[in-house]
Structure 1
Amino acid sequence: MADIAEPSSSADATLTPKQRMAERMRRLRELHTRRNEAQKLNHQEVVEEDRRQNQPKNWERRQEWAELKLEEAEQRDAAQKEGKDYDRQRNMDVSAEDALKWDRRKRKHYNPDPGFSNFEASDRQYDRLVKNIKPDMEQYEAKRQAMGDAFYAGAGSIVHGHHKDTKEAVDRLADDVERQIEKREKFSRRRVHDDEADIDYINERNMKFNKKLERFYGQYTQEIKQNLERGTAV
């Protein structure tokens, strides 16, 4: 507001009282206008900062990733119309460093335990699955009476044709297998290093300690960290 022109004393002396009052009112209106503009800009910044704080932690990175995927889809369609192999053309333009980053990103989602690992783990899984079984005793007794001696099959018993799985039992088995697959996909034996994450540690032990601090106190120190990044910390 210091750049508002103030009349000199010589020019002010030549003005009439009415003109001096009009000039002061003009300057006052300019000051009010600038104050309103400053308040409006400040309010916009506060709203924008509040919006950023309420967004997920990796929102900007997710937005960039979505834009890259959309751009890649458009380039793939354009290459397909021209009759070109998009993957081969893209690999020719990718540097070794970028290719290594992409490979590390893919390994993040790699499942290190797709199936059998050892007998102890299989035994624990079997016990857990058995505990989840809820038998229908009435249906059990009805089948035992209907099948007779074939219910407890021996070496020479013929059980073919005596038993048929119900649709409910098949659906229950399919749902259980899908749940196991979904749980297995979420399993991660060890966190893969993220090259894009901020480095705020000096060794692995310090990294684990900082992650623990962030988990318990991150929500309370978020504003301080943002002020330090912007350089507005008091």
Structure 2
Amino acid sequence: MSTTGATGSSKYMEKLRELHLRVNEARKSNHVQVVEEDKRSKLPSNWEVRQKRLQWEEEDELFRLECNQQKIDPDRMRALNVSAEIADRLEIRRRKKCNTDEGFSTYADASHHLAFPTADTIGLTDRKDTPEAVERLAKQIIEQGVKRKAYSRRRPFDADADIDYINERNKRYNELLDRHYGKYTAEIKQNLERGTAI
């Protein structure tokens, strides 16, 4: 009876030892993964892209060396390995990047294009005015200046007008109101002056 108990406990101990080993293996592998994840988190955000770029550059350098040893143009050899569809897409992308015509950019550029639609537009420096035309222009400008000095919008002071203001600003405001509402308030003012207002 004791032998069966000993064999039962030895099986139990064996199973326990096996579980301990599995737990230790899991702990070690978990620790290794945590360390790797920590290393990855401390790397720059574009690390994978950089690595791919470096790997591509190394492969490209090896490819060019092989082509140079065989005395073949590497760009031509690479073009043989690219399908027509991919080449078209790459060409379209390259053209979009190199497009210098941005369309409408500023109003200054637009007005320049309106004023000078072609490269062959004759400039203003090629045309010479006659002395008579210059004299005529000068005379017109002098006449305009004389007319401008003679014309005045200043209204003369009316001594007979009612004084219903306290200063110049109030006078201007009352004139504005009178322009808009004068025909409606004229009767009310007359009634107030006569004393017949209700």
Highest relative contact order (Cα 8 Å, sep 6+), 1 or 2? 1
Q: TM-score range by the shorter chain?
A: 0.3 to 0.5
With structure 2 as the length reference, what TM-score do the two structures score? Answer: 0.43
